[in-house]
């Protein structure tokens, strides 16, 4: 699940089951991906998002128009959805 904004967001909140991360967009370096996976690089962490129809999110990332991403609970990931579906988010600290 993602919360999209029509304007530029100051930061991105990533809500996992066990932890929440907040990354300022000023630390965003780049994103790459396709319909099944997106990798976002920040100066201190890499974020890997997997799911379906994720290529729709790349445009929103380009304009920093996403304010939050949430790891889906199992029921959400199996239900019908007309937009992109996030099934897993992994946040790794950059060494």
User: What is the pLDDT, as a whole number, of residue 73?
Assistant: 78
pLDDT digits (tens, 9 = 90+) for 35-67: 999 999 999 999 999 999 998 888 899 899 899
Query: Tokens representing 85?
Result: 């579906």
* Phi, psi of 6, rounded to the nearest 5 degrees: -85, -10
pLDDT digits (tens, 9 = 90+) for 63-92: 998 999 998 876 554 555 557 799 999 999
* Phi, psi of 65, rounded to the nearest 5 degrees: -95, 15
């Amino acid at each position: 699940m993602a919360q999209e904004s029509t304007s530029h967001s100051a930061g991105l909140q990533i809500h996992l089951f066990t932890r929440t991360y907040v990354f300022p967009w000023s630390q965003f370096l780049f994103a790459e991906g396709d319909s099944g996976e997106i990798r976002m690089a920040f100066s201190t962490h890499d974020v890997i998002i997997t799911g379906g129809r994720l290529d729709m999110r790349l445009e929103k990332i380009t304009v920093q128009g996403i304010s939050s991403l949430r790891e889906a609970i199992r029921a959400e990931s199996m239900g019908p959805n007309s937009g992109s579906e996030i099934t897993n988010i992994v946040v790794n600290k950059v060494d």
